[in-house]
Amino acid sequence: DSRFTISPDEITELMRKLQNRSRLYRSTGGAHTAALSDREDILILAEDIGRHNAVDKVLGQCILDSIALDDKIILTSGRVSSEIVLKIVRARIPVVISRSAPTMLGAKLASHLGVTLIGFARGRRMNIYTHEKRVT
């Protein structure tokens, strides 16, 4: 079990950074953004028309760059489905934060597999669905 923690203020700031760097979304209104963070900064960012593709691009770059992921966070603009949770678990990332909602199965898997799942992270508001002990 990861000892990784994050504060509500850090979550708010990271989601602000994600939104500010979502250039494709701002110009088209039809793209998703995903990013890897170390709690302070966005390390990798990818945009795509598909939410899965955006996450895959981030995880692929992590592999290419040999980045250790057990103390990192995935940020996303899209819904967190069971498939996205499984990708995050395989990568050993302890926390996923989304501007949108999780699916019911995504939340169940995150709970069962030890991932902290935060959704509807907008401004200073957020819903912590699973493993809230990491949010301090």
Q: Which domain CATH number covers 39?
A: 3.40.140.10
The mean predicted confidence, pLDDT, of the chain is 95
Report the pLDDT averaged over residues 90-102: 97
Q: Is 58 a residue whose pLDDT tops 80?
A: yes
Q: In which band, very low, low, confident or very high, does the pLDDT at 1 lie, cut at 50, 70 and 90?
A: low
Whether the Cβ atoms of residue 134 and residue 73 lie closer than 8 Å to each other: no
The answer to whether residue 97 sits within a structural domain is: yes
- CA angle, 103 then 133 then 90, to 5°: 50
Percentage of residues of the chain with pLDDT beyond 70: 99
Domain span at residue 58 reads: 8-134
The answer to whether residue 3 sits within a structural domain is: no
